[in-house]
């Protein structure tokens, strides 16, 4: 069995990415860390501001992996992410460095640590009418259909359209939710830590982050994405982009779009908190990342060669 590797899961706006970068820089004379990013939206090229993607300068300071893997026109799945992650982790270990898995996409983190769901392969022709239902009626009917069979699967899919469509496809094809199919064997083992700040800590940070994204050019970024990939569900439904694109289409004004982004992000952070609270194998730290810098530093030093 491989020695465990560090894995940090936390909700958006908890400071996990900034703290991971800071620790990687401060500890580089003791342990060489490379960051393996677990974010379902940062894999897409062009979704930069709205996903709080590490800047090119930050990526120059410390190696970051699993960012900008595909365009919004390409299909991407949790299975593909785990495959890429395990390949990158093996390469980092071969260099004598330590892969530090950091992110907020709980389903990706769980699949990496516990194995992939052994579900049937995706069938685009069966997904097409489900996408049409989503476009016509929104997320709620599909979420309710999945929840009637499995609350856990509905929670896992959340408001992620691609994940929800995939889960409903499996349910309709087989009569069973994705969680009923078991899991594969993971390639590595992990020492898992979950940050659990309070809602009161997160909300003002989310408001500030949302405002900063608009100041940094989120509207123009969304405009470019909409022009280049007008039919791609990933772009049209991702938090931050969905609301801005609605503004660009004249559905509501900029102020309403800004509030919609803040509100959607806050709801997403609450779902993430619920997810990470249920990760029984993770050590839980109840606060923001910067509050545990020393503890996290000691933890990471323990992984040095």
SS3 146: helix
Residue-level pLDDT at 29: 95
Strand positions, DSSP E, 104-222: 190-195
CA dist., res. 41 & res. 43, Å (int): 5
pLDDT of 232 over the 80 cut:
no
Contact, 276 vs 282, CB < 8 A? yes
Grade residue 69 by pLDDT with cuts at 50, 70 and 90: very high
Q: 292 is written with which tokens?
A: 């545990």
Residue-level pLDDT at 122: 86
Give the list of residues 6+ apart from residue 151 with CB closer than 8 angstroms, or none: none
A 10 A CB-CB count for 240 gives: 27
- Mean pLDDT along residues 178-203: 95
- Report the chain's mean pLDDT, rounded to a whole number: 94
Secondary element (H or E) of residue 172:
helix 161-174
- 5-117+189-301 is classed in which CATH architecture? 3-Layer(aba) Sandwich (3.40)
CA dist., res. 288 & res. 271, Å (int): 17
Residue-level pLDDT at 280: 82
Percentage of the chain lying above the pLDDT 70 cut: 99
Listed by start position, the domains of the chain span 5-117+189-301, 124-181
Contact, 53 vs 79, CB < 8 A? no
Q: 80 is written with which tokens?
A: 């593909």
Residue-level pLDDT at 222: 94
How far CA 244 is from CA of 221, 237, 253, in Å, comes to 10, 10, 9
* Assigned fold of 124-181: Histone, subunit A (1.10.20)
């Amino acid at each position: 069995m491989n020695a465990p590797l560090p894995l940090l899961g936390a909700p958006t706006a908890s400071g996990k990415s900034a703290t991971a970068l800071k620790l990687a820089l401060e500890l580089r004379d003791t342990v060489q860390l490379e960051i393996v990013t677990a974010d379902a939206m940062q894999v897409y090229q062009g979704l930069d501001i709205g996903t709080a993607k590490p800047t090119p300068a930050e990526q120059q300071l410390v190696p970051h992996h699993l960012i900008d893997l595909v365009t919004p026109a390409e299909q991407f799945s949790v299975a593909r992410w785990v495959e890429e992650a395990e390949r990158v982790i093996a390469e980092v270990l071969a260099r004598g460095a330590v892969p530090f898995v950091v992110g907020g996409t709980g389903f990706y983190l769980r699949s990496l640590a516990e194995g992939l769901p052994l579900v049937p392969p995706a069938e685009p022709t069966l997904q097409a009418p489900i996408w049409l239902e989503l476009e016509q009626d929104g997320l709620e009917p599909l979420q309710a259909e999945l929840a009637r069979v499995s609350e856990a699967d509905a929670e896992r899919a959340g408001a992620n359209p691609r994940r929800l469509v995939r889960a409903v496809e499996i349910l309709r094809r087989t009569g069973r939710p994705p969680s009923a199919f078991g899991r594969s064997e993971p390639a590595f083992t992990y020492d898992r830590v979950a940050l659990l700040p309070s809602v009161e800590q997160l909300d003002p940070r989310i408001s500030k982050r949302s405002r900063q994204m608009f100041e940094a050019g989120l509207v123009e970024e969304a405009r470019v994405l909409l022009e280049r990939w007008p039919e791609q569900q990933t772009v049209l439904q991702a938090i931050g982009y969905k609301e801005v694109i609605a503004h660009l289409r004249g559905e509501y004004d900029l102020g309403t779009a800004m509030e919609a982004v803040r509100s959607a992000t806050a709801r997403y952070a609450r779902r993430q908190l619920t997810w990470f609270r249920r990760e029984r194998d993770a050590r839980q730290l109840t606060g923001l990342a910067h509050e545990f810098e020393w503890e996290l530093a000691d933890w990471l030093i323990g992984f040095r060669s």
